Structure 1
Amino acid sequence: MTNRSLTQLTVLEALLGTASNPRVPLRRVARLFRPYRWNLLFVAALVAASSLVSLVNPFLIRAIIDVALPQGRTGLLALLAVAMIVVAAANSSFGVSQTYVSTRVGQRVMHDLRTAVYTHLQRMSLAFFTRTRTGEVQSRIANDIGGMQATVTTTATTLVSNLTVVVASLIAMAALDWRLTIASLIMLPFFVWISRRVGTERRRITRDRQKQLAALSSIVQESLSVSGILLGHTMGRSASLTREFAAASGKLSDLEVSSNMTGRWRQSLIQIVMSSMPAVIYLVTGLTGRGDHMAISIGTLVAFTTLQQGLFRPSVQLLGLGVDLQSSIELFGRIFEYLDLPVDIAEPANPVTLGRVRGEVRLHDVGFSYDGQGMGAVRPTLRGIDVTVPAGRSLAIVGETGSGKTTLSYLIPRLYDVTSGSVTIDGTDVRDLSFDSLAGAVGVVAQETYLFHASVADNLRFAKPSATDDELVAAAKIAHIHDHLMSLPDGYDTVVGERGYRFSGGEKQRLAIARAVLRDPPILVLDEATSALDTQTEQAVQEAIDAASAGRTTITIAHRLSTIRDANEIIVLDRGEIVERGSHAELLAMGGHYAALVNRDADLVEAA
């Protein structure tokens, strides 16, 4: 960093004092501006020039009062008046230019922060999002970074401008009369102490306010989504949700008032004292001399008080800057807290890229526990899982709810890392693969289909942005959804609605299958894709699954056992362990867990 930047940083540290947040060293904040240091130097030059030019005015005023007017020198008077107009025009031009550049720099810094947080969150594992409310994440990106806008767009300008004015004004005041300068500065240490106390209080309130804002965002995100509205209306909870929102909003309003009013009376005292300083100067001047024996001339006195009044605004702004920075430090702390989150599933330093993927999947002595993943599990979720799925073959995984079926499916695309053992694709550990290579090898159709609020075509192209219209149609035909899409008025341009609520469950599942097919992965993981469907819809979706599975290694998490009778191998999980394995016929002949599950399935179908 430049010497000027280091000087500014020292001033900021002085303004913040020991109240600064130890989690957020100011030098880390300053590093955010490093890519734009030349722009900031340009702004600093403009601000310094503007501040220095503005200091000419008091001396012009002294010359007018002490020389031009008493001596009747109209030519000099006109020249001085024109000089004052030129100074005003120059200041205005400098101000517009520096505002544009500094605002642009500030917005770029905010853009960098938003992008950095979003990028880092994209690298976080599924475990982070299972324990964090979506509204909280949204609030960090939108509200916390948005709350720093004034700080990052104006801090550098305010600091350079006001610091230049203060230093230059003090030098000019000392040149006019050093005794009056000392009298003007005698209260400054007291003012700095007050500002630091106010800043500490406001920082604490800012922390509480942002937490409450995040809570409010979570309420809105959860209760005003399509699912939230459906649940609220059907459960008769709309009124109670409104009361909950009103209570949270009222608490936020109180915190906003507290934040704005904290220290106002103490800061008002500073303004009153500073505004009274010209009266003190007049009094001191009057007491040190009378009439023709005054210690300084009238022009000097007017020039000095003009400088002093000009010193008032930047001094108050510098003190206010310290208060605002202490509030913003809490926001920076919340952002850096997310940026510092450890990435528990990271791409290896030297990732392996698979060539032509055959599709053999092997789980070797796999164990997994959610302990340390924020899920509060006590016993291992999976233990001693050892199974191989040859390329192009199919494996079905069945078991009671909570037996570990879905968790096992998450290990193959590496949504979680195994606690022990290994998961390999064509002999390569998935932990050694590049993320792109792994995503290209494994496609997942989850039990809950997620669709964006966009057109059908856009949702399909999420799997393959470069896909042509013909490729979309081919994938949709494999998933048995093409004919339905063509019956819609807008066809593939139909907007699916939030989370796809304009489509039925079976239609959404077939769209998810089409999306997976479009990516054309050699390995397909199907997580209970038909569990929530009626029998007729299940048959249509199963036909789509069978078509999509052709020629691929398929791993199916089965809820309805009728869908996996033809699997090459079926494994039965119980409390995280494989208790049975074999074909459908072999497992039925054993008369064990699988046979019991099939009989229960049959009873349920008969009862229905």
Structure 2
Amino acid sequence: MNNFAHRGGERGGGSRGAAQINPADRAQLAESPVSIRRVLSLFGPHRAALAIVTAIIVATSIISMAQPFLVRAIIDDALPQQDVRLLALLAGGMVAVAATTSLLGVVQTWMSTEVGQRVMHTLRTQVFAHLQRQSMSFFTRTRGGEVQSRLINDISGMQGVVTSTATSIASNVTTAIATAIAMIALSPRLSLLSLIVIPPAVYLTRKVALLRREITARKQRELATLHSQVEEGLSVSGVLLTKTLGAGTAATTKFAETSQRLVGLELRSQLAGRWRMATMQIIFATIPALIYLAGGFPATSGGMTIGTLVAFTALQGQLFRPLMGILNIGAQWISSMALFSRIFGYLDLVAEIPEPGDPIDLDPSTVRGEVRFESVSFSYDDADRPALSDIDLVVPAGTSLALVG
């Protein structure tokens, strides 16, 4: 190794404080959003399956729109005319619609989950392989618990985004569009009244999403700290060191403080923006009452039948459910970007000692087995002078050598 200089981690091979990759990486992992294009590129090999899932979602949304119209026909035609045959057909149609959409939902869930799991497998494998190419200094200055947290917890947290959030967005968007078209076809005037809720709902949800994103990033950092404390404090070497120094009480206190911070962050995460969401729910509950009230006035009803009014109210409920889902998914999506940022941050790490592009093949019959260092320097990250400077060293085969100091 000629003219080799290396900056290692903290002294003694341990760790203290947060992982020190570099300030730019820390800012990216904790706060910075990631490219949506990069997230979508993970699904490139699964285009065919995703196309089928999308087709199922669209078909389910269109088929489910038949329910309110079947109800209208029952109220306006079958019941007043006492047409038992028509009533049986319409009721059977309602059952068929429910059965069809449920079956399609099962198939869609199976396919989307399989795609999500394959993407997660690929991502886990890429991160594991990439970390194995990092130099020893990375693992010296980075807490083992944090590495495990990103590889296991963060990717598991992203699973919900991959297997649920994306398909929910597609389902809710198509359902909302189909429902809005059906509502306009039934009554343009009442449709306008129903849609006035969208601007305040979007504003309130955006506020909630930004708050949850900040809390999620902080919670993941505290989880990494907790993982590190468990691994370092309950390992054989950790317990031995704690008992030797009599630091058991201090270690327990430190662990309890981290756990208590997690309690506070979890409470904030669950309660973030609850009053805003409660306001939205009140608004959504008020709209059906206004629709029934407007249906009683000739100026707004336009000669609407009772069946049409009931069908419109049912469609209005179908519109607000996916709309609420879209708004909530937006908040979940933004908060999940912190997880993608942490994983992509590891994938973007550049190895301090890159692997040779054209490695030399060794012949076991000619290898002497000795290790030779030539002009080697080494310093710790927080040191003002090198621990080793321009060292030449030969370790003969079959011998052991330790540098202590």
Q: Deviations over 1:327-382 (max 9, x none)?
A: 100111111111111112222333332345523668585242437xx464523723
Give the aligned residue type for 1:557.
L
Asked whether 1:366 is paired with 2:375, we answer yes
Other-structure match for 2:346: 338
Q: Compute the displacement of 1:234 (Å).
A: 3.7
Asked whether 1:253 is paired with 2:263, we answer yes
SS in 2 for 1:70: helix
Give the aligned residue type for 1:200.
L
Asked whether 1:48 is paired with 2:55, we answer no
Q: Deviations over 1:540-579 (max 9, x none)?
A: xxxxxxxxx3xxxx6x42679xxxxxxxxxxxxxx9xxxx
Other-structure match for 1:67: 77
Asked whether 1:84 is paired with 2:94, we answer yes
Other-structure match for 2:228: 218
Asked whether 1:378 is paired with 2:385, we answer yes
Q: Distance in 1 between matches of 2:122 and 2:173?
A: 27
Relative to structure 1, the CA distance from residue 377 to residue 122 in structure 2 (aligned partners, 3 Å threshold; closer, same or farther) is farther
Out of 349, 355, 375, the position equivalent to 1:347 is 355
Asked whether 1:280 is paired with 2:290, we answer yes
Select the structure with the greater relative contact order (CA < 8 A; seq sep ≥ 6): 2
Q: Distance in 2 between matches of 1:294 and 1:23?
A: 49
Other-structure match for 1:315: 323
Percent sequence identity is 47
SS in 2 for 1:382: strand
Q: Distance in 2 between matches of 1:227 and 1:41?
A: 52
Greater Cα offset, 280-289 or 328-337: 280-289
Q: Compute the displacement of 1:322 (Å).
A: 0.3
Q: Deviations over 1:104-124 (max 9, x none)?
A: 222222222222111111010
SS in 1 for 2:390: strand
Relative to structure 1, the CA distance from residue 86 to residue 163 in structure 2 (aligned partners, 3 Å threshold; closer, same or farther) is same
Highest CA radius of gyration, 1 or 2? 1
Give the aligned residue type for 2:361.
T
Other-structure match for 1:112: 122
Other-structure match for 1:328: 336
Q: Deviations over 1:270-300 (max 9, x none)?
A: 121112211111122223359xx85311111
Q: Compute the displacement of 1:170 (Å).
A: 0.5
Relative to structure 1, the CA distance from residue 39 to residue 76 in structure 2 (aligned partners, 3 Å threshold; closer, same or farther) is same
Q: Compute the displacement of 1:224 (Å).
A: 0.7
Question: C-alpha root-mean-square deviation of aligned residues, in Å?
Answer: 2.4
Q: Distance in 2 between matches of 1:179 and 1:357?
A: 89
State whether residues 135 and 217 of structure 1, in contact with CA within 8 Å, keep that contact through their aligned partners in structure 2.
yes
Asked whether 1:161 is paired with 2:161, we answer no
State whether residues 162 and 317 of structure 1, in contact with CA within 8 Å, keep that contact through their aligned partners in structure 2.
yes
SS in 1 for 2:82: coil
Other-structure match for 2:186: 176
Other-structure match for 1:134: 144
Other-structure match for 1:508: none
Q: Distance in 2 between matches of 1:299 and 1:213?
A: 54
Structure 1 residues without counterparts, runs of 5 or longer: 1-19, 396-523, 525-548, 561-574, 576-608
Relative to structure 1, the CA distance from residue 235 to residue 375 in structure 2 (aligned partners, 3 Å threshold; closer, same or farther) is closer
SS in 1 for 2:297: helix
Q: Distance in 1 between matches of 2:239 and 2:71?
A: 68
Q: Distance in 2 between matches of 1:199 and 1:158?
A: 17
Q: Distance in 1 between matches of 2:389 and 2:302?
A: 93
SS in 2 for 1:148: helix
Greater Cα offset, 264-273 or 351-360: 351-360
Q: Deviations over 1:521-558 (max 9, x none)?
A: xxx4xxxxxxxxxxxxxxxxxxxxxxxx3xxxx6x426
Q: Distance in 2 between matches of 1:362 and 1:72?
A: 97
State whether residues 31 and 217 of structure 2, in contact with CA within 8 Å, keep that contact through their aligned partners in structure 1.
no
The answer to which structure has the higher helix fraction is: 2
SS in 1 for 2:379: coil
State whether residues 275 and 312 of structure 1, in contact with CA within 8 Å, keep that contact through their aligned partners in structure 2.
no
Q: Compute the displacement of 1:259 (Å).
A: 0.6
Other-structure match for 1:194: 204
- The equivalences for 1:423-572 within 5 A come to 524=397, 549=398, 556-557=400-401
State whether residues 289 and 295 of structure 1, in contact with CA within 8 Å, keep that contact through their aligned partners in structure 2.
no
Greater Cα offset, 72-81 or 314-323: 72-81
Relative to structure 1, the CA distance from residue 126 to residue 69 in structure 2 (aligned partners, 3 Å threshold; closer, same or farther) is same
Q: Deviations over 1:220-251 (max 9, x none)?
A: 00111111222233433333322222221111
Matched residue count: 375
Q: Compute the displacement of 1:37 (Å).
A: 2.1
Relative to structure 1, the CA distance from residue 350 to residue 23 in structure 2 (aligned partners, 3 Å threshold; closer, same or farther) is farther
State whether residues 131 and 375 of structure 1, in contact with CA within 8 Å, keep that contact through their aligned partners in structure 2.
no
Q: Distance in 2 between matches of 1:276 and 1:153?
A: 33
Q: Distance in 2 between matches of 1:368 and 1:232?
A: 33
